[in-house]
Every structure is written in structure tokens, then in C-alpha cells.
Amino acid sequence: MEKTYSLTAHYDEFQEVKYGGRYSSDILSNGMTLSLGGSLDRHTTRGRGGTLSNGRNKDLGSTSSSGGLPRWSRREICLLSALVFAAGMCVILGSMLALKYISLDAQQDPQCRQDCQRKRSLLRAARFVQSNIDPTIQPCQDFYSFACGGWLRRHGIPEDKLSYGIITAIGEHNEEKMERLLLEPIKRQGVDSAERKVKDFYRSCINVQEIDKLGSDPLTEVIDSCGGWDMSGAPPKTPGWEREGAPQRPDFNELLYRTQGVYSTAVFFSLTVNVDDKNSSRNAIRIDQEGLTLPDSSLYLGQDEDSVKILAAYKALMERLLSMLGAHNATQKSKEIIHLETRLANITVSEYDDQRKDISTMYNRITLRQLQNIAPSLHWKRLLDRIFHDNLSEDEEIVVLATDYIQKVSDIIKSTSQR
């Protein structure tokens, strides 16, 4: 049987024949037959420069029809295969190493991870302390300047604040983080989603265009619902207001409930629920001094030039706001409001006072009945029942942090005109 020629296996020899190589007959050096021109049998097809037997000319026809591009040699194919194999092995080995490190991290001793966290925290604290000290100051001569000099150089007291410290700076930093979180897209769109409620509420507060569009109407509606500026427009049949037949005068305790319970505004005092300062296993209703608009009680007393300027600016702002909100005789009303706040400032203990720094001296745990006796001008049980939607017992214990203040506030309310 006559040997046939394989184009794939003997491509190099074919190239020699194609370009007029060393062959002058139709017998190749390996003994296979090559027909140059002439008629073909049924197993052959004409190719470029000759025909090959056994139908292997199909590869040649493909090569010729594609413009004569040479096929890859066996050596090139072997090299490409080796490269692909090596790349695959690298991917497999990399995946195995990654899985190994992940498993080692998962099996790591929790105590070791905790120590690493502690070390990182200590390093951050050390860098913070180092950046805030002033190494040019001798600590034995002026330790405060040595410990805080670096921080004081980088920070000044803002114009809108009476004081500024590291606690305030941390609070501002946390507020910036919260703002970024609140402005992120809402992920939980459910009707009862707390995330949706909080983010919608915050966005409504910063929607300046809508706020400008509404103008003073929302505040005017609130003031009118409370009886107006002179407290004379209250509907007589509204629950909580005094009985029909009596003078058209609103019930002070109803107004107190609306401000404290509905609008969450601390008027005359603050009312919160916190962990009991002397029993961390329980929560307690806590009442403390509150009610001033300016940040410190000393600003109402005009003890220095800055206080006088601030109080005058506050009075001018109040007159402008009262006029914008529809109050008649805004100048007179602003004087009455400042006079009332000044009386509250006189009985308010400054937060910088030593008395306000010791919780044991402020802490007074009393029953609701005792609170009613201390401040009889207010209906405490009715107020707390409505705010907490409960029927509290007269023996319910409440923590009062400013007992003297609450007693004096009751006297001020009793002696002040309800108008």
C-alpha cells in the first residue's frame, strides 16, 4: 500500500516543495508520494502548486484560501500548551494559599485577635496624645500647656460657642458620620422600617426648598392650636382645656403636655428616661433643670460686656421672629419672655458649678406623690400618664436631679400671669 503524506506532520517538508526546494521528483525523502500537476484520482483535490494524496489537501486548501498564513508548528503548540498549563497551576496554587490564610485567620485564637485590636487602639491613642502635647513646654513648670498645647494651637473657640473642647470635637465628628449615613439610599423600604422613617425625617428637615415654600404656616398653626400668642383663642371644648362657662383661658397643664409630650420640647424642665444612676439594672424617669434658650444662665444676668451684647442680639432676634409669626406688639412680648427666662436663669445652677459635677449631690429618688407635694402647680400624674400612655401609681419612683429648681419653678408658674 502506497504511503501518504501528512500535511500537519510534515509541514516543513511541504514548504520546501512549495517554494521549489530540493525535490525534483514526486517521491519525497521519506518515501511518500507527491503528484505535481496532472490528473487526480477521486481521493485528491487540486491545491496550490500540486496535489496531495489521501484527502489531506483539505488543510492545505484552508491555508491557501486564508491568504497563505502559515500554521503553528508543533514546537509552538507545545510551548503554548505549557504556558496555559503553567498559568492554570498558578491560579490553583494562589487559590489554595488564599484559602489557607483565611482558614488560619478563622482558627486564630480570639485572645490573639483581641490583643492585636488592643495594640492598634494603643497605637492610635499614643499618636493622638503625641499630636496634642507641646514638647517645648517643661511639664514640671506648666503641665496643662505641655499636655494640651498642641491641641490648643490647632483649635480655637468658634464664634457660635462659649467653650470648645475635645468632647465637643468628638461630638461634631460623630454628627458628620451620622449625616453621611442618613444621606445614604434607603435599603429597607417597608412601611414600618425604622431606617426609612429616620432618613425621611432627616431629609425633610434639610429640604430647604420645601421649607421656604411653606414659610411660617406650620409654626403659625402650632401657635394657634395652643391658643395664639395671648392664649385667648383656645376652643372651649378641646380636651384638657378648662370647662365651659369659665373664662376662655387655656389649661397650663395641657400646654405643658403639648410641648413636652407632643413636640418633645423641654419647657421649664427636662423629662427623660435613663438608666438609674444608682441602680444600673433598671431605668427611671428622670427630671432635671431645663428651659433656657441661651446656652448658659450667666448670659441672662449681664455680668460682662459680651453677655450684654448677646442678650441684646437675642432680644432683637426674638422681636423679629414674633413679628414674622403674627404676634402683635412684638417688642412688649419679647420683654415679657426675656423677663421670664431671666427668672429661670436666677434659679438655674450652672453646669460648670461643682454641684452639677457630683451626681450623688443631685440624685434624689422620690415617689410621684412626693413630687406632687414639692411642685404642686403642676399635675404630675396626669402629665406623665399622657406622655407614657400608662396609669402610673402614686408610689412610682422618679429620679429628680434638681429638687430645689423644681420647687422654685412651681412657685414661678404660680406667680406668673397665664397670658
**Cβ 52 vs Cβ 7: under 8 Å:** yes
Q: Which of 51-55, 147-151, 403-407 has the lowest mean pLDDT?
A: 51-55
Q: CA-CA distance, 130 to 124, in Å (whole number)?
A: 10
Q: Which of 25-29, 46-50, 113-117, 227-231 has the lowest mean pLDDT?
A: 46-50
pLDDT above 70: percentage of residues in the chain: 75
51 falls in which pLDDT band (50, 70, 90)? very low
Q: Which of 117-126, 195-204, 345-354, 367-376 has the lowest mean pLDDT?
A: 117-126
* Average predicted confidence (pLDDT) for the chain: 79
Q: CA-CA distance, 385 to 403, in Å (whole number)?
A: 21
Give the residue-averaged pLDDT of 212-224.
Answer: 88
pLDDT top residue among 107 and 355: 355
Q: How many CB atoms lie within 10 A of CB 170?
A: 10
Prediction pTM value: 0.56
Q: In degrees rounded to 5, what are phi and psi of residue 272?
A: -135, 170
Give the residue-averaged pLDDT of 59-68.
Answer: 45
Among 28-42, 95-109, 281-295, top mean pLDDT goes to: 281-295
pLDDT top residue among 11 and 94: 94
Residue corresponding to grid cell 497605637:
123
**Cβ 276 vs Cβ 399: under 8 Å:** yes
Helix (H, G, I), strand (E, B) or coil at 367: strand
Query: Is 175's pLDDT higher than 50?
Result: yes
Over the stretch 299-334, which tens digit does the pLDDT of each residue have?
998 888 888 999 999 999 999 999 988 888 889 999
Over the stretch 245-262, which tens digit does the pLDDT of each residue have?
444 456 788 889 988 998
224 falls in which pLDDT band (50, 70, 90)? confident
| pLDDT in the model for residue 82 | 87
Query: Is 64's pLDDT higher than 80?
Result: no
Query: Is 400's pLDDT higher than 70?
Result: yes
By C-alpha distance, which of 40, 61, 58, 49 is closest to 21?
49
416 falls in which pLDDT band (50, 70, 90)? confident
68 falls in which pLDDT band (50, 70, 90)? low
